[in-house]
Amino acid sequence: MKVKLRRFTGREFVTTEYEVETGENPTVLEILTKIKEELDPSLSFRAMCRASVCGTCAVKVNGEHRLACNTRVNGEEVLIEPVDGYIPIKDLVVSHEEIYDGLRRARVWFVPREENLTITPQELNKTSRAWDCILCGICNNVCPPLLEKRDFGGPSLFTKIYRILEDPRDSLGEERLNGLTALNAQNCVHCSNCNLFCPKGCMPERWITVIEGKLTQKGYIQKKTEDFGFLGF
């Protein structure tokens, strides 16, 4: 298989080509590993678990954002590139600092109540999809308002927040909700790209809609009503 790699050198992007002997339907991660082990040890990419769990291996495969470890390819040629939305560091590796920074700024961690509350299976079920988020950042890379302007929290951050917001054991309640105003949930254009490309089926847009509704109801934000021109992403 002919493999084209768009790599960041530290100054610019270059495309290099490799002829790789693969088995049938290899994963993108298998291809990258083979290139590194047999053809070009200088190649840098991120991966750890090889099982869609660690969230580190997102790349673009033939123009679409995917996890390298769970994306199989066939055919004679494949193009692998770094993701669009984050600062490139080397080859296919991009900085994830912005993701972690967002989590820190929005205080996305559980602050338990003093009393020992239990949670029902029904309450847990409400957030089970959001719990599956592996912070791969793919949803952020296909989110038009986030790519255009960084004043929107973005789908991965809202997915993480939703889990805690709906948990009766969290003590921050109203204070947590009020703190979300700066993330501009109303900037979501509900294009559903995040739902479509999330490799774990987390449905970020659904949770943003819920959070937007809560914030609107409390008067913290005003729902946008204008037409958006970039839905055909």
By the criterion CB under 6 A, which residues form the site for ligand SF4?
A: 133-139, 142-146, 155-156, 159, 188-194, 198, 200, 202, 204-205, 208
x/- mask, ligand FES, residues 23-52, rule CB under 6 A, reads: ------------------------xxxx-x
Q: How far is the CB of 59 from ligand FES (least distance, A)?
A: 10
x/- mask, ligand FES, residues 67-96, rule CB under 6 A, reads: xxx---------------------------
What residues have CB less than 8 Å from 14, skipping those under 6 apart?
Answer: 6, 7
Cβ nearer to ligand SF4, comparing 45 with 162: 162
Between CA 79 and CA 60 the distance in angstroms is 8
Task: Pick from 30, 31, 55, 88 the residue near ligand FES by CB under 6 A.
Answer: 55
Q: How far is the CB of 54 from ligand FES (least distance, A)?
A: 3
Query: What sign does the CA torsion over 213, 185, 133, 163 have?
Result: negative
Name the residue with tokens 């995040």.
Answer: 194
13-19 β-sheet, strand order? 13-19, 2-8, 77-81, 58-61, 64-67
Q: How far is the CB of 58 from ligand FES (least distance, A)?
A: 8
Between CA 185 and CA 207 the distance in angstroms is 10
Among ligand FES, ligand SF4, none, partner that 47 touches (CB below 5 to 8 angstroms by kind): ligand FES
Pairing of strands 88-90, 93-94: antiparallel
Neighbours of 207 (CB within 10 A): 26
The residues of the shown chain that bind ligand FES, judged by CB under 6 A, are 47-50, 52-57, 67-69
